[in-house]
Amino acid sequence: MKLSTVLAFDLGASSGRALIGEMIAVEGEGLKLEVKEIHRFPNQAIHVGNHIHWDILRLFQEVKTGILKTYQEGYRANTLGIDSWGVDFGLLDESGELLGNPYHYRDQQTNGLVEELAEFIGVEELYLQSGLQNMPFNTIYQLFAMVKTGSPKLDAGRDLLMIPDLIAYMLTGRKTCEYTTATTTQLFHPVLKTWNKSLMETVGIPSRIFIEPFMPGDRIGPLAPEVCEELSVDPINVIAVATHDTASAIAAVPAGEDPFAYLVCGTWSLLGTELSEPLLSPQTIKWAYSNEGGAGNTFQLLKNIMGLWIVQECKREWEERGGTSDYPGLMRQARAAPAFQALIDPDDSQFYTPHGMVDKIRSYCRKTWQKEPVTEGEIIRCVLESLSLRYRHTLEQLEKLTGRSFSGLHLVGGGVQNGLLCQLTANAIGRQVWAGPVEASAIGNMLVQLIASGLCRDLNEARFLVKNSFPLMVYEAQGDLLQEEAYERFKKLIQKID
């Protein structure tokens, strides 16, 4: 028996998708969530002059196409929710019009600003005020860049809407700000759980542009009449889900009630554990761990790790040069390449910016006196092995920070499809990896909608639904001496930052 139909839009840095979820009661098996992808579309960084932007109108158009397709396929969603990457935003003027295209978080406008603000406020103080790992792309630095250049957009701006809030606004006409994505700005006070107006004042950011946050599960409103008319659809209710994609993905981790560690693996790798309160200790400051807001009043103590971005960039480069290998082909070559020939620190800042990734990897290895990877397989192997060692290092730090011990690691998100990465991770951490679900963000998005409509009681019940609905792949650790020796080498490489 079908109990509810929900529609989730999950916007990622390289693609977006619309998925339909149906909650059904199956005799003898209990409640299940059945998920079907309805629409998938590319999301591209657009380079204009010296800047990089998101094509927000294109994204909105694709969202509308997604709604239309659900109707064409005969689905009638009770509610819909939108999640996306964090930190980026649009500004609306007095009349509610969007002021320009939102900047891409990899835009160069924030270069040097982390250092500048650190000098002005102090790294420790900034951490205590925001609870976040100091990343150059955080909203605070994007706004600080506008303050410094005297951007007219900032003067004219009346409301700041984060990307999922902006899409929700275009769909409903309602201006809202959802809590989990607000906590990615570095302008939200983790302990007071409100916007940090005094920090805004210190940086010169006008506090008038910030809207009081909605909590995950709050109702934004129905689709606007003009949207319904254009698409010939019903006024579906839009719900503020855990709109930060990472928070949504964590909501979908098929864990029980005991403490667990997770790795949300996509363009970024976010490795962390769930807490009920933020952890701001001398050690979390030193190791720069983020405390981000999660669904169900949780805090996510996590580390941003560079992730599969490095692989995506290599692949893009090879394709531009006429290469034809798809992901399975590249991974086959990586499997065949010799193990632990060369390692990189994936979090070295040079790997953050687009372009020239292959050369950057090679020159990193050269400069650190390692054997230079040459073939595509060798390069991918070098990146994946380095990531897996980074995961081990982070997991061990997380245990020290929290006093918890983890018997394995939940891996969710697109990276689950990369069997080699899952196996290397299990080998590196010397514990089991439980991989799945792949579409964690979209599923977490659906779960919050189901909680909002009373079909799931809370996050625990929602996670049980995930467990009962999606199979997990288990990867056993296959460690050896080579592994330990590589980890020692890796620790030396990253010493400069730890």
Catalytic residue numbers, as ranges? 245
Number of residues that make up the chain: 498
Minimum CB distance to ligand LFR, residue 54 (Å): 11
Residues that bind ligand LFR (CB under 6 A): 85-87, 105, 244-246, 266-268, 270, 304
Residue 416: DSSP 8-state: G
Closest CB to ligand LFR among residues 111, 478: 111
Taking the complex as a whole, the smallest distance from the CB of residue 24 to ligand LFR amounts, in Å, to 29
Sequence letter at residue 464: F
The least CB distance from residue 180 to ligand LFR, in Å, is 10
CB of residue 349 to ligand LFR, shortest distance in Å:
15
Residue with tokens 């064409």: 72
DSSP string, 439-493: THHHHHHHHHHHHHTTSS-SHHHHHHHHHHHS--EEE-----HHHHHHHHHHHHH
- Give the count of alpha carbons within 13 A of 354, CB side only: 18
Phi and psi dihedrals of 14, rounded to 5?
Answer: -115, -20
Least distance to ligand LFR from the beta carbon of 460, Å?
23
Q: Which is nearer to ligand LFR, 245 or 439 (CB)?
A: 245
- Nearest to ligand LFR of 136, 377 (CB atom): 136
Residues 268/482, Cβ–Cβ less than 8 Å: no
Q: Which is nearer to ligand LFR, 130 or 304 (CB)?
A: 304
The CA distance from 121 to 186, in Å, is 13
- What is the Cα–Cα distance from 103 to 143, expressed in whole angstroms? 11
Which has the closest alpha carbon to 176: 137, 226, 219? Answer: 219
162 or 203: CB nearest ligand LFR: 162
- Residue with smaller CB distance to ligand LFR, 85 or 195: 85
Other Cβ atoms closer than 10 A to 119: 9
- The nearest distance, CB 186 to ligand LFR, in angstroms, is 11
Q: Which one, of 144, 40, 154, lies nearest residue 90 by Cα? A: 154
Judge contact between 296 and 275, C-beta under 8 A: no
DSSP state of 271: E
Residue 268, CA distances (Å) to 54, 86, 347, 488 in order: 18, 11, 11, 24
